Structure 1
Amino acid sequence: MADQTNAPRRLTRKGQETRKRILGVAADLILKQGVAGTQIDEVRRSAGVSGSQMTHYFDDKHTLVRDVIAWQAENTLESHRHPALGRLDTFEAWRSWAEMILERQTERGFRGGCEFGSLAGQLVECEPDLRPDLAAGYEQWRDLFREGLRLMRDRGDLLPTADPDMLANALLAALQGGLLLAQTLRRAEPLRDSLRAAVAHLETFAATPLSRED
């Protein structure tokens, strides 16, 4: 899990829960206020912990932000591991993925966008030493997509010429761009259209003609 990625060793169960609470609070504040607008003392107060507890789990704000990146990366992966999606290794799973994301963002009024993408947008240029952490999060996300697509190709659902890397890149880019546009414009069409277009592109690599039940 994300809260364990850079976690101190030998935490008690209570310590693990406290650390998880701090990370959750910090992630929420950063999403709402940005990294620059979120101070570590504000995180401490909102999480209801003491100063000594904060320094026990996180040496400084930089450490906290790095661990929030890992937290958000894992939460992003978990949101794609819904039982209805399986391993993202069928055409129906990819259609469900697109509709599930659209429904989730609609319920949120298209506010907040992508939690992980928001972190990347804020930090990738102004905090270059954190770029590898952000890149690692995106690579895990891309790997999840690529593995499902590879299974489809190896099973014969996709043409042998289908490139899982290319298709994973296209699907992830369509998602990230659609989320940002929908967040900015506060409407569904950019996200809906980008996701459906990406899935439609995937379907052009079907080894056999598709029906809507496939």
Structure 2
Amino acid sequence: MVIDGRLQRGERTRRAVLDTAVELASVEGLEGLSLARLAQTRGVSKSGLFAHWPDKQSLQLAIVEHARQQWVEFIVEPALHAPKGVRRLLALHELRLDFYTSRRLPGGCFFRAVDGEFDDRPGPVHDAIAAAIDDWMNLLAELVRRAVDLGQLRPQTDPHQLAFEIEALGATVIVHTHLLQREHSYSHARRAVLDRLRALATDPSILPEA
């Protein structure tokens, strides 16, 4: 029982540190993060963190995985409760925007903050970031395919093209809101995807008008 209690406390500490790490990385990126910085921010000992992550790369990989899990928890899983087809696709986009507007991450999006750091730097961290983004793109394309199969999107709809457009509009929001300070970008991104889906839908009435 004592051992179980210690394990539980250790896991809570680990999750709390990773929550903080994802928040910091959404603003500062991954390269500037260190165990010392996290220990100071969380008010824990640096030596205690070494039990979880013995080096910087293992820490970075754990942060990427934690950010991916957050994305699944707050965006993907809730979207899967929406009706199948085109409405589920719209829900995925809207939940992404909701995640941004919630300010859960001060920088808005972890992956938009770190992809530029590692896009031209081969290695395990690059591969982990790329895999997470690739999984997201594949999910978008798969939901498009399913909507076509259900007869809710036109048969000629290109899943990868539409997935690219939805992703581009979602990613652009971060630049426009955080760099340009244009809060109306959220409504523009929502409306742009909605209009695109309505234009491709075989029955636009199943989607909101605005």
Q: Under a length normalisation based on structure 1, what TM-score does the superposition of the two structures give? A: 0.78
Equivalent position of 2:205 in the other structure: 211
Residue number among 69, 72, 78 corresponding to 1:77 in the alignment? 72
* AA of the residue aligned to 2:159: P
Q: CA deviation at 1:175?
A: 0.6
CA 199–149 in structure 1, closer or farther in 2 if over 3 Å, else same: same
Residue number among 34, 39, 61 corresponding to 1:66 in the alignment? 61
Partners of 1:170 and 1:180 in 2: how far apart? 16
Partners of 1:30 and 1:104 in 2: how far apart? 16
Equivalent position of 1:7 in the other structure: none
Partners of 2:48 and 2:98 in 1: how far apart? 38
| Structure 2 SS opposite 1:158 | coil
The answer to which of 129-138 and 33-42 deviates more is 33-42
* AA of the residue aligned to 2:205: S
Q: CA deviation at 1:185?
A: 1.1
Number of positions where the alignment pairs a residue of Structure 1 with one of Structure 2? 202
Equivalent position of 2:35 in the other structure: 40
Partners of 1:192 and 1:124 in 2: how far apart? 29
CA 35–189 in structure 1, closer or farther in 2 if over 3 Å, else same: same
1:192 aligns with 2:187: yes
Partners of 2:175 and 2:107 in 1: how far apart? 9
CA 148–95 in structure 1, closer or farther in 2 if over 3 Å, else same: closer
Equivalent position of 1:113 in the other structure: 108
Q: CA deviation at 1:137?
A: 0.7
Residue number among 16, 20, 39 corresponding to 2:15 in the alignment? 20
* AA of the residue aligned to 1:128: P
Partners of 1:56 and 1:200 in 2: how far apart? 50
Q: CA deviation at 1:138?
A: 0.3
Partners of 1:62 and 1:147 in 2: how far apart? 32
Task: Compute the RMSD of aligned alpha carbons.
Answer: 2.9
Equivalent position of 1:176 in the other structure: 171
Q: Structure 2 stretches of 5 or more lacking a match?
A: 1-5
Contact kept in structure 1, 2:25 and 2:113, CA below 8 Å: no
1:96-144 deviation line (CA, Å, top 9, x unaligned): 4444444554454x9513122112123323x432221111010121122
